[in-house]
Amino acid sequence: MGYKDIKFPEGSKFLVTGSAGFIGSNLVEAILNLGYKVRGLDNFSTGKKENVEEFLNHPNYEFVEGDIRDLETCMKACEGIDYVLNQAAWGSVPRSIEMPLFYEEVNIKGTLNMMEAARHSGVKKFVYASSSSVYGDEPNLPKREGREGNVLSPYALTKKMNEEYGKLYSKLYGLDTYGLRYFNVFGRRQNPEGAYAAVIPKFIKQLLNDEQPTINGDGKQSRDFTYIENVIEANLKACLASTNAAGQAYNIAYGGREFLIDIYTQLTSALEKEIQPHFGPERLGDIKHSNADISKAKQMLGYNPEWNFERGIEQAIEWYLKNL
């Protein structure tokens, strides 16, 4: 049943990098609720202080403010750690097209620093965030591991490089690495602000403010929107996966497919708003359709997502109504 019954050895200690971000803060909360120790690492470049404030007084939580681009910070953060959940990265395809050098530095060098620190600290499992963007221009659906196309953005390339290093670190150094290819994750604490905000929180906020949202393209692009609870499950189950499953990447999604225009209609209906969207130009580097085959993650990690889109979006809307 999901991840609530997952058991780790007593006294297990987790490091969550990017712990003040959307996915990172949810992982921190889930692990603390399970009764284990967590160290968070973040430099607040994209994460938000309010995402971690509620944990600061928790006896099992410690927070380190620092940057994964600094190897010494990574080494200190990994001291005494059993499991690393590396979520620290800069997201957004369009932003990466504007800032390729920065993405190289944070997403590739930073992740490599973390793998190196984990290796030297004798960490048991290194689980890291990859992305469905690594499929690039491969047109077939559903997306299946081992069948990738040419990447379409610097962001996608950084994630592909993370996977290559993950493979090498397992093979050369015996560090058990697991790459999780997230497909359009959504849910509580996802930031609705800014030009690069994810589409669901952005639409919700604009509709609540009676603003007209912009849909890039014709709205007929489809995504395998994945609720945050499924992602928490995948991270924790990867920590218990066998060494045979290490050095590989896995699709983490629900395995469904939603069209953007349908989601928009669903949100206007749920929020009781009658606002027509504005249709803008398509975004450079975007993939038109994405839908995941999750059979490999099910088989190798025991991943069994319980939250479909409908159930997840209800929870997300409820959270934003209370917190926006």
Sorted by where each starts, the structural domains of the chain and their CATH numbers stand as: 13-186+228-255+293-306 (3.40.50.720)
Q: What is the mean predicted confidence (pLDDT) over 111-132?
A: 98
How do residues 182-206 score in pLDDT, each as one tens digit? Answer: 999 999 999 998 777 789 999 999 9
The C-alpha atoms of residue 285 and residue 303 are separated, in whole angstroms, by 29
**Residue reference for tokens 């890039």:** 216
Catalytic residue at 155? yes
Residue 1 pLDDT: 54
How do residues 250-281 score in pLDDT, each as one tens digit? Answer: 999 999 999 999 999 999 999 999 999 999 99
Angstrom CA distances, 224 to 30, 71, 123, 142, stand at 23, 35, 32, 10
Residue 289 pLDDT: 87
Q: What is the mean predicted confidence (pLDDT) over 120-144?
A: 97
Whether the ω angle into residue 142 lies within 30 degrees of 0, i.e. cis, is yes
- Exposure of 48 by Cβ count < 10 A (0-12 exposed, 13-18 middle, 19+ buried)? middle
Residue 293 pLDDT: 98
The token duo for 170 is 């397992």
User: Residue 17 in contact with residue 87, Cβ under 8 Å?
Assistant: yes
Catalytic residue among 155, 178, 254, 303: 155
How do residues 66-89 score in pLDDT, each as one tens digit? Answer: 999 999 999 999 999 999 999 999
What's the pTM value of the predicted model, to 2 decimals?
Answer: 0.96
The pLDDT of residue 304 is above 70: yes
